[in-house]
Amino acid sequence: MSRQATFFDPKGVPLLLWGVPLLFLLAAALLSSRIVIDQERTLAGRENRERAESRGLLYEISRYPAFSFGFRNFFADLSWLGAVQVAGTRKLTPNDYDRLVLMIQTVVHFDPKFKVPYLLGGVILGDSGPHVPEALKILNLGRANHPDDWRFPFYVGYLHYFSLGDPVEGGKALESAAKIDGSPQYLPLLAARMFSEGRKPETALRFLTEMMRQENDPARLEVLKRRIHEVVAERDMQMLERAVEAYHQKTGRLPRELPDLVREGMIARLPVDPQGGRYLLAPDGKIHSSRARERLKVFRKS
């Protein structure tokens, strides 16, 4: 005759063993979350309060991993799944980037030796201008936890070059990466090129091409492919502007349309915009793409 299991019945022992720690976990998490939010309400203004309240329970637990009661790996995996879903979004919004920052931070708080989140966070977040500082923090944290992995200073160099427009700091980071055992042999040459001719699209394309050879994560590959299209478009537009200037010097006037450059022999043919748009000629002779809101400033001489 069957009967219900109790906490003192052998069949009920698993419930006791699992239930009590989980109750303690939830209580501690709620308490720690409440304490943190109350502290930030006291010390911070309205913007910081709203940010603190939006962080979520797992993030707050991750700041005090002792409250995870042995579930650190489980919570790290849970946060990582959420981060992968956000990073895989085709077109991330500012709110998506904010969420990704917190998710990556949560993962590495729980499991600082997990390499992939640092790399994913660094590349994806670096694609959003306002989130570049957070991306660099994440990469440098990964670099501190994994000093023997050349990819961390390599991606730091990527962000300094493409997101901050600073080829000098980018070259320094690549030099650091080149000194790590197992790093690719092309890094010293790439660092030298970045120092000497950093603001040239051709240098950027070499950099991106080598990055793609080393990359196998779909989300990071998508960012790099998009960046290559932007760089190729910038290279084409610079070439067209040089042709416009040559046309002006030869004829004394600016061309009325881009095909005039071909007819006058300035260029052999018009390039195709890799972003799917069209190159357009402005009245002042400047070139822009119908698909890009602005030119890449990283290639503008300071």
For the ranges 48-62, 107-121, 193-207, 288-302, the maximum mean pLDDT occurs at 107-121
The reported pLDDT for the residue numbered 115 is 93
The reported pLDDT for the residue numbered 19 is 54
Using CA atoms, how far residue 261 sits from 75, 127, 267, in Å, is 60, 34, 6
Tell me the helices (H) and strands (E) count for the chain, helix number first. Answer: 13, 2
| Domain extent listing, the chain | 12-70, 235-299
The reported pLDDT for the residue numbered 50 is 42
Q: Cβ-count burial of 186 within 10 angstroms (0-12 exposed, 13-18 middle, 19+ buried)?
A: middle
Structure tokens at 42: 């006291």
Q: What is the value of pTM for the model shown?
A: 0.61
Q: Confidence class of residue 37 from pLDDT cuts 50, 70 and 90? A: very low
Phi/psi for 289 (5° steps) reads -100, 145
Whether 53 and 37 have beta carbons less than 8 Å apart is answered as yes
> Which DSSP string do the residues of 30-97 spell out, in sequence order?
HHHHHHHHHHHHHHS-HHHHHHHHTS-HHHHHHHSGGGGTT-HHHHHHHHHHHHHHHHT-SS--HHHH
| Percent of the chain topping pLDDT 90 | 41
> Which DSSP string do the residues of 193-217 spell out, in sequence order?
HHHHHTT-HHHHHHHHHHHHHH---
